[in-house]
């Protein structure tokens, strides 16, 4: 991969269930070190798109490139081995296992046992989880579980990390803590694609936003551009809201960030 190659590229990817186009010809690129948000109303196709990128959902057409290499068609563990993985909306942790054991299961995808232990320990230390390494996941708080899920993903040494609702159920101060971790990892070169329903959090966190509705990419741009885009406002708030955006833009009374919670 040269300096001009996108770290992740989706080329006209589509997923069809029967006659339903859950993902309808979406194309986008991510540059190394970006935090990009993927937003849209409920049922817009975000989860299906996420799953398609990492191999959990077979594409009907199109392809996914990671560092210029095709990864669409590979099994999820192969995609992870190439450098892209995701967290899960409902943290897919083993509650009766320790934090270390949970992270170790992911590290074993790319390492032998000795190296996996070293990798798992390093990731836990990096995320400030070393002190609870031997604690059972069932005994953790919501923000701790969110960080452990992120640690499991990081243990696979990704270039691109897809975060699926890692801030669900967190308080504003807890969200701030998780966002600080994400930003610090971005500063080290990791690229993020984020699905998150806390709109104010995603507006504060992301460099760019991709907006999907009915399986199509309807807008992309900076958070400020997207928040005031009439097409996006209509998708979230319904017909007539776009006109309200035009009359309320000066005061910020009608924006996605200010008016939508989905």
Which alpha helices (H) appear in 188-255, and where do they start and end? 199-205, 223-227, 230-237, 241-248
Quick: pLDDT tens for 206-226.
999 999 999 999 999 999 999
Residue 69: strand pairing partners: 66
Quick: pLDDT tens for 149-169.
999 999 999 999 999 888 887
pLDDT classification of 142: cutoffs 50, 70, 90: confident
Average pLDDT, the chain: 88
Domain ranges of the chain: 8-83+159-259, 91-157
Question: What's the whole-model pTM score?
Answer: 0.86
Q: In whole angstroms, what is the distance from residue 254 CA to residue 262 CA?
A: 15
From 169, 179, 101, 97, select the one nearest 139 (Cα to Cα).
97
Quick: pLDDT tens for 13-39.
999 999 899 999 999 999 999 999 999
- Torsion, Cα 143 148 149 153, to 10 degrees, reads 140
Q: Which CATH number does the domain 8-83+159-259 belong to among 3.40.50.2000, 3.40.50.300, 2.30.30.230, 3.90.280.10?
A: 3.40.50.300
Stretch 186-195: mean pLDDT: 95
Can you read off the two tokens belonging to residue 26? 């979406």
């Amino acid at each position: 991969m040269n300096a001009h190659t996108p770290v992740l590229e989706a080329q006209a990817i589509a997923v069809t269930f029967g006659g339903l186009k859950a993902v309808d010809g979406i194309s986008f690129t991510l540059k190394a070190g970006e935090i990009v948000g993927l937003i849209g109303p409920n049922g817009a196709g975000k989860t299906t798109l996420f799953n398609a990128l990492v191999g959990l959902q077979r594409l009907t057409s199109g392809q996914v490139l990671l560092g210029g290499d095709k990864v669409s068609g590979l099994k999820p563990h192969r995609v992870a081995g190439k450098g892209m993985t995701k967290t899960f909306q409902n943290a897919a942790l083993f509650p009766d296992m320790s934090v270390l054991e949970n992270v170790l299961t992911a590290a074993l995808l790319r390492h032998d046992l000795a190296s996996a232990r070293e990798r798992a320990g390093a990731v836990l230390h990096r995320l400030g989880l070393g002190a609870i390494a031997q604690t059972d996941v069932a005994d953790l708080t919501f923000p701790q579980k969110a960080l452990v899920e992120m640690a499991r993903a990081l243990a696979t040494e990704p270039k691109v990390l897809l975060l699926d609702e890692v801030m669900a159920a967190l308080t504003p101060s807890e969200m701030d803590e998780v966002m600080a971790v994400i930003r610090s990892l971005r500063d080290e070169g990791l690229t993020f694609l984020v699905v998150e329903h806390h709109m104010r959090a995603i507006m504060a966190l992301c460099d760019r936003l991709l907006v999907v509705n009915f399986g199509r990419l309807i807008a992309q741009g900076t958070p400020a551009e997207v928040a005031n885009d009439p097409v996006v406002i209509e998708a979230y708030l319904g017909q007539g809201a776009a006109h309200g955006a035009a009359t309320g833009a000066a005061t910020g009374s009608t924006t996605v960030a200010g008016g939508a919670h989905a």
